[in-house]
A and B are shown apart, each in its own frame.
Chain A
C-alpha cells in the first residue's frame, strides 16, 4: 500500500513537476513572418507521460470597453491625457502635476464619433508633493482628421499651494533678460541646477499643450528633456520663450523634437503661440567612423 502511494506520487510529480514548456513549438521558431499573429496555440503535449487534465491558467483580458481595469493601459493612457490637461490649466514654474494613480475607469464607444472615458484618478503636485483626487472625462474623437482629445476634469482642491510670491519673483528676475539660457534640463545625469528648475517646470507645462494635442488612445507622452531655451524680448508684460523640447512617446519609444514659442506671466499663465514638430535627427546621421 505504502509503495503504491509512492508510485502514485511519483507519477503526479513527474507529470506536473516539470517547469519546462513543451508547448508551442511553432511559436518558438517564427522566422516565418507570415505566421498568423492571432493563432492560438494548442494545449501542451506532455511527452512520454500520462495525460493529466491541467487547469487552464486564464490570463486576464485587456478590458477596452465598460468597466476598466485601472492598471491596464487603456485607463492609464487616458489618465495621462488628464495629467497633460491639468498642467495646461494649472501648471506654472512652481506647480507641475503628475499622475499618481488610477482608481477606476469606464469607457464607451460613442457611435460614429469616438470613444469616451470616465476616470477617477489621483494626481500629485511634483513640487509640494500634495496629492488629490480628480474625476475626469476624456473624449478621443475618431475619424481621419487628427483631432485632439477633449478633457473635462474636476479636482478636490486644485490649485492648493499659493505660489504667487515665487512666481512674481521669477517674473521680475527674467523680465529684463533676453538671451539664450544654457539648457539641457535635465542633463545626462538627471541633474538640474536649482536656479533652472522653474524653467524646467515651465517647459513641462508648455509641453503639456503639445502632448495634450497629440495624444490618442495609442500614445503615452512624457517630456524627456528641455534641449534648449532662448528667451526673447518681453512683450505685453509677458515673458517670451523659444524652447526646444524632446518628448518621449512610450508606445513607439520614439523621441520627438518640438519647437515651442510661448509666453508666461503670473496672472496670464502659459500661452502657446506656435508649436512645430522638428524632423528626427537620426535621419541625418553621418556614417560611423570607428
Chain B
C-alpha cells in the first residue's frame, strides 16, 4: 500500500490511483529497489508524503472530501508519527475520523492522552482549519523541536478535524446553508426542523441551562443526553480512556475566549484556580503572537450559561484540563472569518494550545533528560535523504520507461 503510493507520488502529487504501471521485468526490479529504499525512507528524511502535506494550502478553507484525503496523505507520509482511526459515524453515515499523533517511547511506558476536536458546530470553519494547521505544525516541526518530540514520546495527541461532518458538509452545499450550526439529525415527529446542537447533547448536566427543547432552535439539546451519534462517538472513545486522558481541548468560533468548565453557573470545577491560571498563561502566549486578546473564564461568567457541552462532560469524567477555545473574531466577521485571517488565527491558537499541552505534560512527567537518540537520528536522516533522492531520480526515469 505504502509503496504503491510512494511510487505514484513523484508523478501525481499523491492522488490515489492516479496511474497504472505496466509490470515489465524492468518495472519489477525498480519496484524492488523502491521497496528497499522506502523502507529506509519512512524512518527518517523527507519523503513524498511530506511533500503532499507541504503542498496542501492550510490558509484556505477545505470541503470535507479534501479534508478526508488530506488525513490519508498525512498518515501515509508520516507513518512513524501519525495513524488514523474511524471512531464513529454521523447520522448520515459519514466517518468520524481522528488522527493520532505520537512517537514510540523507548521504555514502552503507557502513554497519556491529549484530545483536540474541531467542528462540533458546522459554521465555525476556522476550527477545522485550526485542527489541520495544528497537525501540520506538529508534523513539520517535531523532528527539530526537542521538547515537542519528547512530549510526543510521552503523550498521544488525538485530533479530530471535523466532528460534525454532516453539518460541515451541509454548510458547503450552497450560499443559504453557510450559517448552519447543528448536526443533520432527522426532524422529530410533527416537525420539519433538522439537527441537534451537539455541544448541548453531551451527558453533563444535560438539559438544565442554556438549551432549548424546541427542535427548531439552534441550541436544541436533543431527545436525551448522548442521543446523537456524533456526541456518542466522542463519549465512547474518551470514556474508555479517561484514566489516561490529561487534556481535552474543543475548538470553536467566535469570540476570542478560553472557556473553562462548567457551563452551569452553580457548579465549579475542583481545580478551578489552576484552570484559570493555565488558561491565562495560554491567553498571554496567544497575545504575544499578533496582539489579540483572549478572555479567560467560565462560560456563565464571560459568555452565557450552558449545559451538555463536550468540555463539561470531559471535566466531569475526570479529565483534569478541559477547555473550549473560541477563536477569532469578536463580531466584525464572526463565523465568516476571511481566509486571510486563517494563518494568524491558527498561529495564535497553536501557541495557546501548545502552552496548555506543555503545562499538562510537564506536570505529569518529570523533566527527564531528552533521549540522546536525537543526535543519532539526525545523522541517519541525512544518509537516508541522500539515498532517497538518488532513488527518486531513478524511479522517475524508470517509471516512464514502464509505460
Contacts and interface: CB of A to CB of B under 8 A. Distances in A.
Contact of B301 (A31, A57, A72): A72
Interface residues of A, number: 63
Given A57-B268, A281-B176, A282-B193, 18 more contacts: A23-B270, A30-B207, A30-B208, A31-B203, A33-B206, A44-B270, A57-B273, A58-B268, A60-B301, A73-B302, A98-B330, A101-B293, A186-B333, A190-B340, A252-B218, A255-B179, A283-B192, A283-B216
Nearest to A21: B318
Contacts of B300: 62
Interface stretch (A2-10, A34-42, A262-270): A34-42
A44 B176 CA distance: 49
A287 B219 CA distance: 21
B194 interface: yes
Interface in B291-307: 293, 295, 297-298, 300-304
A190 B337 contact: yes
A38 to B, nearest CB: 6
Interface stretch (A112-120, A137-145, A149-157, A243-251): A243-251
Interface in B170-209: 171-172, 175-176, 178-179, 181, 184, 186-187, 192-194, 197, 203-209
A250 B329 CA distance: 13
Given A19-B318, A72-B301, A31 B224 contact: yes
Contact of B331 (A37, A98, A184): A98
Interface stretch (B145-153, B259-267, B378-386, B387-395): B259-267
B192 A30 contact: no
A58 B246 CA distance: 23
Contact of A37 (B192, B209, B337): B209
Given A76-B302, A184-B175, A252-B218, A27 B205 contact: yes
Contacts, number: 167
A206 interface: no
A283 B192 CA distance: 6
Interface of B: 60-61, 92, 171-172, 175-176, 178-179, 181, 184, 186-187, 192-194, 197, 203-209, 212, 216-219, 224-225, 243, 246, 255, 264-273, 293, 295, 297-298, 300-304, 315-318, 320, 330-341
A252 B317 contact: no
Contacts of B331: 80, 98-99, 222
9 contacts: A30-B204, A37-B205, A41-B267, A126-B332, A186-B336, A187-B175, A188-B172, A252-B217, A285-B192
Contacts of A187: 175, 336
Interface of A: 19-24, 27-31, 33, 35, 37-41, 44, 54, 57-60, 62, 69, 71-73, 76, 80, 98-99, 101, 126, 184, 186-192, 222, 224-225, 246, 248, 250-255, 280-285, 287-288, 290
A226 B271 CA distance: 44
A20 B332 CA distance: 40
Contacts of A27: 204-205, 267, 316
A20 B318 contact: yes
A255 B122 CA distance: 14
Contact of B184 (A126, A283, A288): A288
Contact of A73 (B301, B315, B317): B301
Contact of A224 (B92, B246, B295, B334): B334
Contacts of B61: 188-189
Contacts of A282: 193-194, 216
A85 to B, nearest CB: 15
Given A41-B267, A283-B192, A189 B334 contact: no
A76 B267 CA distance: 23
Given A29-B203, A30-B207, A288 B194 contact: yes
A221 to B, nearest CB: 9
B26 to A, nearest CB: 47
A251 B209 CA distance: 12
Contact of B330 (A59, A99, A184, A246): A99
B317 A251 contact: no
Pairs of residues from A and B, 9 with the lowest C-beta to C-beta distance, nearest first: A190-B338, A19-B320, A222-B331, A57-B272, A20-B318, A59-B268, A253-B218, A37-B208, A188-B178
Contacts of B316: 21, 24, 27-28
Nearest to B193: A282
A31 B269 contact: no
Contacts of B255: 250
A208 to B, nearest CB: 12
Contacts of A37: 205, 208-209, 264, 266
B270 A35 contact: no
B181 A253 contact: yes
Contacts of B273: 57
A57 B269 contact: yes
